[in-house]
Structure 1
Amino acid sequence: MPTELVFRDDAYAREIAARVVSAAPEGVVLDRTNFYARAGGQPGDAGVLRWDGGEMAVADTVKGPDDTVLHVPAPGASLPPDGAAVTAALDWDRRHRLMRMHTSLHLLCSLIPGAGVTGGQIGAEKSRLDFDLPDPPTKESLTEKLNELVAGNYAVTDAWISDEELDANPGLVRTLSVKPPRGSGRVRLVRIGGDGTPVDLQPCGGTHVRATGEIGRVEVAKIENKGKANRRVTLVLAGE
């Protein structure tokens, strides 16, 4: 039975009620979860599962078999009983930083149109995208333009399209190393800005803030040469 992914509809669900389907040292499966499972360059969530008489620190969250999600226990943590009612509580400060970082990478991608994304990694302290790009802009110009987009407070929304619609619009896919999550017959699109000419529009299964103003000031920390036409752009949340 697949795990219901509450974060897909509400990335701000800090705590939810759930029930334990199974519990093993490699991970606890719940019937529903607000924890994001590591994928697409975004780390898995951490937090805690609480039940009557106990709690388990969650060190990581990963994908399990048959569309389930495994909440990986911290070393030495007790496991909840099968069937137990639990409260799944995120390490919200970390998750929110990852949401801000993830959304800022979408903005970065919008500022380098036409260049394929060859890799990326989202982190709470710093994040990066690698571009197939021989001559990148300066880090100063990118920082200025990024913060203009942040200050614009553009709405961040999502919608679903069919696999066939995505196949008919291959330009929506910017990532060359990571393919959009498929297999269910539909693909989630994340849109920043209005319907007419969005700031960014591309397939993504991760978590994001509701509007770009929530990101706060960001800076391009460095741009590195990682190959003949591969440039790595690293972002940080400024002043934190």
Structure 2
Amino acid sequence: MDLLFRDDAYLKSCEAAVVSAGPEGIRLDRTVFYPEGGGQPGDSGLLRLADGRALRIADTRKGDSHEDTLLIPAEGEALPDAGAKVTAELDWERRYKHMRMHTCLHLLCSLVQGDVTGGQVGADKSRLDFNLPDGSPDKAWLTDELNRLIREDHPVTPVWITDAELAAQPELVRTMSVKPPSGAGRVRLLKIPGVDLQPCGGTHVARTGEIGPVEVGKIENKGKQNRRINIRFAS
């Protein structure tokens, strides 16, 4: 399967053919739909069929391998036939919010010195959990620093390294709860020069300025050293 979102997160649609369709979901030969993973929700949208029908896609999930992606139709939708030609269309407004939020979480990670123990990307608010033995950071300072990095409009680019190169640089892995995918020979990193560099297979904006103003919400105590930092788009 050709994962088009991996090379161009700004593709909103693509022409594709149905490889298979069953209770587990719909497989296409190529897709712009990102499958749930790394804290980022799976994409939703439409499959437009040649007969004019529009099949609603409620979710996207990973299948049996790195390349296997399953589109989950909304309840009650009739499955397309194998071999059918379709146009896959993202719910772009939702996806773009995920891209902005996911990139902002990388900025947050660059400002907080502690292992990441969990996280979740959302369309309107997101969070990261950190192991912080020295206590919580200041909320006002974090908000100011996040918005400074956003205003500076840093470029955001994917880069690839080999599994061996990642194994030789374990400091690149900040997330304790999710291990970067390995075994395929190479691993994708997200690079914000001078700010952040770590493995990530999600979708992101091309420059930090696209994120827009944000604010830090609650900083919650989730354990002896665990702190949950919530962020949202500023109103």
TM-score interval, normalised by the smaller of the two chains: over 0.9
Q: Which amino acid aligns with 1:124?
A: A
Name the SS of the counterpart of 2:230 in structure 1: strand
Match for residue 63 of structure 1? 62
Q: Distance in 1 between matches of 2:181 and 2:108?
A: 21
Deviation at 1:71, TM superposition (A): 0.3
Match for residue 200 of structure 1? 196
Unaligned runs of 5+ in 2: none
Q: Which amino acid aligns with 2:231?
A: L
Aligned-residue CA RMSD in angstroms?
0.9
Deviation at 1:57, TM superposition (A): 0.3
Q: Distance in 2 between matches of 1:237 and 1:117?
A: 21
Deviation at 1:52, TM superposition (A): 0.9
Match for residue 183 of structure 2? 183
| Identity over aligned pairs, percent | 60
Deviation at 1:108, TM superposition (A): 0.1
Q: Which amino acid aligns with 1:121?
A: Q
Match for residue 48 of structure 2? 50
Q: Distance in 1 between matches of 2:68 and 2:92?
A: 22
Aligned length: 232
Name the SS of the counterpart of 1:65 in structure 2: coil
Unaligned runs of 5+ in 1: none
Name the SS of the counterpart of 2:14 in structure 1: strand
Match for residue 22 of structure 2? 24
Match for residue 231 of structure 1? 227
* TM-score (normalised: structure 2): 0.97
Match for residue 118 of structure 2? 119
Q: Distance in 1 between matches of 2:181 and 2:126?
A: 21
* TM-score (normalised: structure 1): 0.95
Deviation at 1:51, TM superposition (A): 1.2
Match for residue 222 of structure 1? 218
Q: Deviations over 1:178-208 (max 9, x none)?
A: 0011120110011012xxxx20000000000
Q: Distance in 1 between matches of 2:39 and 2:26?
A: 22
Name the SS of the counterpart of 1:144 in structure 2: helix
Match for residue 132 of structure 1? 131
Q: Deviations over 1:8-55 (max 9, x none)?
A: 000000011111001113311000100000011110000000111122
Q: Distance in 1 between matches of 2:162 and 2:126?
A: 30
- Moved >2 Å (runs of 4+): none
Name the SS of the counterpart of 1:43 in structure 2: coil
